[in-house]
Amino acid sequence: NFRLMGRHDSSSEEEERYRKRDRRRRQKHKDKRSKKDVSKPNVPELNDNNGKALGKTGGVYIPPFKKERMIMKEVKDKSSVEYQRLTWDALRKSINGLVNKVNARNIKNIVPELFAVNLIRGRGLFCRSCIKSQMASPEYTDVFAALVAVVNSKFPQVGLLLLKRVVLQLMKAYTRNDKPQVLAAVKFIAHLVNQLVAEETMALELVTLLLEDPTDDSVELAVVLVKECGARLQDFAPKGLNGIFERFRSILHDGEIDKSVQYLIEGLYFAKFPGHHAVRSELDLAEEKYSHYISLEKVIDPETVLDVFKPDPDFLENEKKYVAFKNELLAKEEIGYDASSEEEDDEFDENELGDEAETNLVNLRRKIYQTIMASIDLEQARHKLLKLKLEPGQEMELCIILLECCGQERTYLRYYSSLGQLICMISKSYQENFEKCFVQLYSMIHCIETNDLPNVAKFFAHLLATEAISLRVFSYIRLTKEDTTSSSRIFLKFLFGELWKQLGIRLLNKMLQVLTMQDSLESIFPRDNQENMRLLISFFTSIGLSGITEHLKEYMKYMQHLINMQQQSDSESDDSSSSGSESGSSSSGSNSDSSSSDSESESDREKRKRRRRG
Calculate mean pLDDT across residues 533-560.
76
Q: What is the DSSP letter of 525?
A: S
Q: Is the residue at 596 inside a domain? A: no
| DSSP assignments along 429-459, one per residue | HHHHHHHHHHHHHHHTGGGS-GGGHHHHHHH
Among the three residues 277, 302, 327, which one is the final residue of a domain in this structure? Answer: 302
Pair (397, 487) in one structural domain: yes
Does residue 68 lie within any of the structural domains? Answer: no
Q: Is residue 279 located within the same domain as residue 410? A: no
Helix (H) / strand (E) element for 102: namely none
Please report which confidence band the pLDDT of residue 147 belongs to, taking 50, 70 and 90 as the band edges: very high
Confidence of residue 4 (pLDDT cuts 50, 70, 90): very low
pLDDT at 356: 56
Span of 50-64, 179-193, 244-258, 444-458 with lowest mean pLDDT = 50-64
In angstroms, how far is the first alpha carbon of the chain from the final one? 165
Does residue 10 lie in a domain region?
no
pLDDT in tens, 160-180: 999 999 999 999 998 898 888
d(CA 176, CA 182): 10
Per-residue model confidence (pLDDT) at position 609: 53
Lowest mean per-residue pLDDT among 137-141, 225-229, 278-282, 591-595: 591-595
Q: 28 in a domain, yes or no?
A: no
What mean pLDDT is predicted for residues 77-84?
A: 79
Residue range 62-70: mean pLDDT, rounded: 67
The answer, yes or no, to whether residue 263 has pLDDT greater than 90, is: no
Looking at the structure, do residues 139 and 262 belong to the same domain, yes or no?
yes
The domain total for the chain is: 2
Lowest mean pLDDT among 200-209, 560-569, 591-600: 591-600
Q: Who's near 292: CB < 8 A, 6+ residues apart?
A: 156, 159, 160, 163, 197, 198, 199
Confidence at 588, pLDDT banded by 50, 70, 90: very low
Q: Are residues 475 and 540 in the same domain?
A: yes
Residues 295 and 383 in one domain: no
In a domain, 326, yes or no: no
Q: HSE-up of 600 (CA within 13 Å, CB side)? A: 7
Which one, of 420, 441, 444, 415, lies nearest residue 431 by Cα?
420
Across 77-102, b (16+ Cβ under 10 Å) vs e yields eeeeeebbebbbeebbebbbebbeeb
Smallest CA-to-CA distance from 127 within 174, 153, 92, 85 is with: 92
> Minimal CA–CA distance to 496: which of 548, 538, 560, 564?
548
Percent of the chain exceeding pLDDT 90 equals 11
Please indicate, yes or no, whether residues 263 and 365 belong to a single structural domain of this protein. no
Number of Cβ within a 10 Å radius of residue 115:
19
* Whether 293 and 404 share a structural domain: no
Pair 243, 363 in one domain: no
Domain interval for residue 415: 356-565
Say yes or no: 297 and 365 in one domain.
no
Tell me: do 211 and 104 sit in the same domain: yes
Tell me which of 470 and 587 has the higher pLDDT: 470
Residues 367, 279 share a domain: no
Q: Kindly calculate the radius of gyration of the chain based on its CA atoms and give it in whole angstroms.
A: 42
Q: Are residues 512 and 367 in the same domain?
A: yes
The pLDDT value given to residue 45? 52
Instruction: Assign 157 a pLDDT band (cuts: 50, 70, 90).
Output: very high
In a domain, 15, yes or no: no
Helix (H, G, I), strand (E, B) or coil at 327: helix
Residue 17 lies in a domain: no
Query: What is the per-residue pLDDT for 276?
Result: 53
Read off the amino acid at residue 580. G
**559 inside domain:** yes
- Tell me how far apart the alpha carbons of residues 375 and 388 are, in angstroms, rounded to a whole number: 14
Rounded Cα distance between 402 and 460, Å, is 12
Statement: residue 585 has pLDDT above 60? no
CB 307 within 8 A of CB 125: yes
Mean pLDDT estimate for the chain: 78
| CATH number for the domain that contains residue 152 | 1.25.40.180
